[in-house]
């Protein structure tokens, strides 16, 4: 059963509502309203439309006493919301018309919205896609996270080097949230634990308040809305009046400043376990608030805590909320008198854990002393969980070991199901990071291949293709992406081919205009748009792509009359501020771009651009315009990838390794429609065992010695000739990510790509088949699968 869709307003009505908000919420008249005012007024008018379905969904969930899903994530990389909401409500034309009636340029108003960048990369964006799908499928769910005051830093380039500045999305009013000052929980830190008469009690030394901010998340066709509840940190005592009266004004505001620190910034490190006390506090802060909140809701329904697992499914997005296990046990045992053993069983029945990485340096571990100091009660509970795990499984794997608390092991032991995010990744999780626990708990590790929401990643970001799909296969595909299969029968139809190509060209022209306006950059829309956008990391091998670009440049200069395919190399992505090597790679890309882009001999054939500050909005502009998708990670390192799915859906062909979800994408689109190269995960491991493997690969390559010589000799850094000496030396000596070993295979495959692109009809046909065959990668499929295999809930809207 679905909720009756309320009749949406027509354009004149919406226009009136926008004016109403402009006047009474913003306090502006039409004459003096800024773009910001119009944007707020439009957002508030759209938000009004979400409220009734939101209430109806909530009422229905309470009435049915069904199981609820709680998605705990340290990150939600949301992006802009105006179009997302308008599209889900089916009101995008109405919104545009209403703004036009008001004499406002809809695009300009939409573009005024800052990205909500409460995440670093794939993990955070996956959480945002999952929220969209949970609502679209009508699954009663809450997202829980942190309302960071400052989202992911803004990236600037100064002489080609990355500079970071604080992001400030809350500098203006946030249109979509509802503050809930009455929903607040105390969160304790430190202190000691007492045992009296069999009762264990934690006496924290410090406390902060977690205060709720709710954003409704509306699903497709406005049939269902869930809540994203983000926690902001506040002091238990707002203001120290005694200090103020003494004239100590700074001291008077200190409690507030200290508490707010907890939700102040998103940790920008997407690679390593930063091991900072503040991060541990952030994790406990939002996890404890979320667990307290869901227990309060559960008890308000008059249910018995012993049945918690029948009513509550808690998904841990990576180990960041892994403290949920001990916290749940603490509340059940210490606050509700349930035996520890039974509390552990109940908690495990509720909890499931998603692993997103095989990189050992990214697996969270906390120094035991720090952990016991910040969370003394949880530390003891973890020791009890460990005892129980030894007894249950006979496994020697420890959660607390060598002076560290290992969050991956904790999450695993406390979860009834653990999942990887692509077929290959899930197998590698079994074989590597959790091999021993897998033996102890066979069947616990399962796979849930990632997905992406087709609403944002096709319907909204790619209007030309959306319109073509609507006229070709009907309008059911946004909520049933498997319908894209119907395109297959049109793949050889010349009329459809022309329309598909025209849509791509329109997107390329749109991107060209966007870049011109944003950065003044001029690009050639006839070139192949070859795009690599993602966080900068050695394993993702932006460096290999860049070396290939230099090698190609050399070849074009050596043979200017050759049959070259014009290429535009587009890079986008941020490096963690402390990741020195990644920043060096960024600098090198910009340095190389400067030389190549100014070379008159190659100017019409090769160009490199690197627009600064890659974010969700930039991805929405780049992906529909891409011809070639670069998914070139060292096999065995990219857990899944989700950008790879977005590109294929929008008709870009992939050049990629057998890594993460590339493997499954290739199976779906067909090997003949995918440019594969490089070593497999097993070959990578074997290659690392060979003596001097990187030097040998470089010396055997027809390109690398020259390219690396140019870089090392300062050809691209004339003002500082030694800038890249270290980088080149490391490639010879410890090329852990096998850039040199895969280079020749990559270069050769790129030449196959060149030839394929020159056959415009053949390329376009492959692009059509990519779009037609990747419907499976919808996050609706992923969420339906979590619902069935992990949560035990059934979607309402299917
Ligand atoms: C990403 N992880 C994976 N982590 O790298 C990617 O393959 C996968 O598609 C995606 O998750 C979704 O499953 C990722 O983005 C982070 O950014 C963490 C942030 C916090 C610190 C540790 C890494």
pLDDT at residue number 6: 53
How would residue 797 be classed by pLDDT, with cut points 50, 70 and 90?
A: low
Mean pLDDT over each residue of the chain, to the nearest integer: 96
**Secondary structure, 3-state, 667-687:** HHHCHHHCEECCCCHHHHHHH
Q: Is the CB of 362 under 6 A from ligand 1?
A: yes
DSSP secondary structure letter of residue 397:
-
183 or 795, higher pLDDT: 183
Average pLDDT over residues 441-459: 98
pLDDT digits (tens, 9 = 90+) for 362-383: 889 999 999 999 999 999 999 9
Segment 391-412 mean pLDDT: 97
Structure confidence by residue, pLDDT tens digits, 565-576: 999 999 999 999
Tokens 């490096």, residue located: 575
Distance 535 CA to ligand 1 centre (A): 10
Closest-CA residue, ligand 1 atom 17, reads 270
Would you say the CB of residue 639 lies under 6 angstroms from ligand 1? Answer: yes
Confidence of residue 3 (pLDDT cuts 50, 70, 90): very low
Give nearest CA residue, ligand 1 atom 6: 641
Query: What would the mean pLDDT of 104-129 be, rounded to a whole number?
Result: 98
Helix, strand, coil tally for the chain in percent (to 5): 55, 15, 30
Is the pLDDT at 270 greater than 90? The verdict is: no
Percent of the chain surpassing pLDDT 90: 93
Q: How confident is the model at residue 272 (pLDDT cuts 50, 70, 90)?
A: low
Query: Token pair for residue 250?
Result: 């700074």
Q: Is 123 in the pocket of ligand 1 (CB under 6 A)?
A: yes
**pLDDT at site 362:** 82
Nearest CA to ligand 1 atom 19: 270
Ligand 1 centre to CA of 129 (Å) is: 14
Least confident segment among 229-238, 471-480, 487-496: 229-238
Q: Is the CB of 421 under 6 A from ligand 1?
A: yes
Compute the radius of gyration of the chain from its Cα atoms. Answer: 27
Instruction: Give the distance (Å) from ligand 1 centre to CA of residue 122.
Output: 5
Host H or E run for residue 141: strand 141-146
Q: Which atom of ligand 1 is nearest to the CA of 642?
A: 9
DSSP string, 349-386: HHEEEE-----GGGS-EEEHHHHHHH-HHHHHHHHHHH
Does 387 have pLDDT greater than 70? yes
- Taking the centre of ligand 1 as the mean of its atom positions, its distance from the CA of residue 121, in whole angstroms, is 6
Give the pLDDT band of residue 271 (cuts 50, 70, 90): low
What's the start-to-end Cα distance of the chain, in Å? 9
**Whether the CB of 126 sits within 6 Å of ligand 1:** yes
Residue 87 binned pLDDT confidence (cut-offs 50, 70, 90): very high
Element containing residue 472 per DSSP (H, E): helix 463-473
pLDDT at position 237: 82
pLDDT, tens digit, 9 for 90 and up, residues 690-712:
999 999 999 999 999 999 999 99
**Which residues are identified as catalytic?**
356, 534-535, 540, 642, 646
Pocket test for ligand 1, best of 72, 76, 120, 123 (most atoms within 8 A of CB): 123
- Residue 798, pLDDT > 50, answer no
In this prediction, residues 208-226 reach a mean pLDDT of 98
**Listing from the earlier edge strand, what are the strands of the sheet with 225-235?**
178-189, 206-218, 225-235, 141-146, 68-72, 312-317, 351-354, 417-420, 445-447
Which residues on neighbouring strands pair with residue 164, listed in sequence order?
A: 155
Q: Whose CA is closest to atom 14 on ligand 1?
A: 123
Strand, coil or helix: what is 199? Answer: strand
Does residue 120 have its Cβ closer than 6 Å to ligand 1?
yes
Q: Is the pLDDT of residue 238 over 60?
A: yes
DSSP, res 213: E
Choose one of 76, 357, 641 to mutate for the ligand 1 pocket test, by most ligand atoms within 8 angstroms of C-beta: 357
- Whether 416 has a pLDDT exceeding 80, the answer reads yes
CA angle in degrees (0–180, nearest 5) for 622-624-630: 65
In this prediction, residue 585 carries a pLDDT of: 98
| Residue 250: burial class (beta carbons within 10 Å; 0-12, 13-18, 19+) | exposed
Q: Which of 71, 77, 122, 321 to mutate to test the pocket of ligand 1 (most atoms within 8 A of CB)?
A: 122
Question: What are the tens digits of pLDDT across the range 306-335?
Answer: 999 999 999 999 999 999 999 999 999 999
Ligand 1 centroid–CA 638 distance in Å is 9
Which of 238-247, 280-289, 451-460 has the weakest average pLDDT? 238-247
């Amino acid at each position: 059963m679905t909720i009756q869709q309320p009749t949406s307003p027509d354009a004149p009505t919406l226009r009136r509502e926008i004016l109403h908000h402009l006047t009474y919420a913003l306090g502006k008249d039409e004459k003096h309203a800024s773009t910001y005012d119009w944007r707020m007024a439009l957002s508030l008018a759209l938000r009004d439309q979400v409220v009734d379905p939101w209430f109806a969904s909530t009422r229905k969930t309470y009435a049915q006493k069904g199981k609820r899903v709680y998605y705990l994530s340290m990150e939600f990389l949301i992006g802009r919301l105006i179009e997302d909401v308008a599209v889900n409500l089916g009101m995008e034309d109405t919104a545009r018309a209403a703004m036009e009636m008001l004499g406002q340029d809809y695009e300009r108003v939409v573009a005024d919205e800052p990205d909500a960048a409460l995440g670093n990369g794939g993990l955070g964006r996956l959480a945002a896609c999952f929220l969209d799908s949970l609502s679209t499928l009508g699954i009663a769910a809450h997202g829980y996270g942190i309302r960071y005051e400052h989202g992911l830093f803004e990236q600037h380039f100064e002489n080609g080097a990355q500079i970071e500045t604080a992001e400030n999305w809350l500098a203006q009013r946030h249109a979509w949230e509802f503050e809930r000052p009455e929903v607040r929980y105390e969160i304790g830190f430190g202190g000691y634990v007492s045992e009296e008469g069999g009762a264990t009690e934690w006496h924290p030394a410090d406390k902060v308040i977690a205060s709720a901010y709710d954003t409704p998340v509306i699903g497709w066709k406005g049939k269902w809305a869930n809540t994203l509840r983000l926690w902001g940190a506040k002091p238990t005592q707002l203001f120290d009046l005694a200090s103020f009266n003494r004239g100590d004004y700074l001291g008077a505001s200190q409690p507030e400043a200290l508490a707010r620190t907890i939700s102040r910034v998103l940790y920008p490190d997407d690679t390593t376990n930063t091991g900072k006390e503040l991060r541990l506090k952030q994790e406990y802060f939002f996890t404890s608030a979320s667990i307290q909140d869901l227990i309060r809701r559960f008890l308000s329904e008059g249910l018995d805590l012993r049945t918690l697992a029948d009513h509550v499914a808690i998904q841990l997005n990576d180990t960041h909320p892994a403290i949920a296990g001990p916290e749940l046990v603490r509340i059940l045992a210490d606050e509700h008198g349930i035996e520890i053993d039974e509390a552990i069983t109940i908690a495990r029945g509720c909890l499931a854990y998603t692993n997103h990485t095989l990189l050992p340096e990214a697996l969270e571990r906390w120094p035991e002393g720090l952990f016991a100091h910040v969370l003394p009660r949880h530390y003891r509970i973890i020791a009890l969980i460990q005892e129980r795990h030894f007894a249950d499984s006979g496994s020697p794997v420890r959660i607390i070991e060598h002076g560290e608390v290992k969050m991956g092991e904790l999450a695993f032991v406390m979860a009834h199901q653990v999942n990887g995010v692509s077929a290959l990744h899930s197998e590698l999780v079994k074989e590597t990071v959790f091999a021993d626990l897998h033996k102890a708990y066979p069947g616990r590790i399962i796979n849930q291949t990632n997905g992406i929401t087709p609403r944002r990643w096709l319907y909204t970001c790619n209007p030309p293709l959306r319109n073509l799909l609507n006229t070709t296969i009907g309008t059911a595909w946004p909520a049933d992406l498997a319908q894209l299969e119907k395109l297959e029968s049109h793949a050889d139809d010349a009329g459809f081919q022309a329309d598909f190509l025209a849509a791509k060209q329109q997107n390329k022209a749109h991107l060209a205009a966007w870049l011109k306006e944003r950065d003044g950059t001029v690009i050639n829309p006839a070139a192949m748009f070859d795009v690599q956008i993602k966080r900068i990391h050695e394993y993702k091998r932006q460096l290999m792509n860049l070396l290939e670009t230099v090698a190609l440049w050399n070849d074009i200069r050596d043979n200017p009359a050759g049959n070259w395919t014009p290429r535009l190399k587009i890079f986008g992505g941020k490096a963690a501020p402390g990741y020195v090597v990644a920043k060096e790679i960024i600098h090198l890309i910009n340095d190389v771009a400067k030389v190549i882009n100014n070379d008159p001999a190659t100017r019409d054939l090769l160009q490199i651009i690197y627009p600064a500050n890659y974010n969700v909005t930039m991805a929405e502009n780049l992906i529909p315009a891409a011809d070639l998708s670069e998914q070139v990670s060292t096999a065995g390192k990219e857990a899944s990838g989700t950008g790879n799915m977005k590109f294929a859906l929008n008709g870009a062909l992939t050049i990629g390794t057998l890594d993460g979800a590339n493997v499954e994408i290739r199976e779906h689109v067909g090997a003949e429609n995918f440019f594969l190269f490089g070593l497999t995960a097993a070959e990578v491991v074997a290659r690392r065992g060979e003596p001097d493997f990187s030097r040998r690969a470089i010396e055997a390559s027809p390109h690398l010695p020259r390219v690396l010589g140019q870089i090392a000799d300062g050809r691209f850094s004339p003002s500082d000739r030694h800038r890249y000496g270290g980088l080149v030396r490391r490639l010879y000596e410890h090329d852990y990510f096998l850039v040199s070993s895969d280079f020749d295979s990559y270069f050769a495959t790129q030449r196959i790509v060149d030839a394929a692109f020159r056959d415009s009809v053949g390329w376009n046909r492959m692009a059509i088949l990519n779009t037609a065959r990747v419907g499976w990668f919808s996050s609706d499929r992923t969420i339906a699968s979590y619902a069935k295999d992990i949560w035990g809930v059934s979607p309402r809207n299917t």
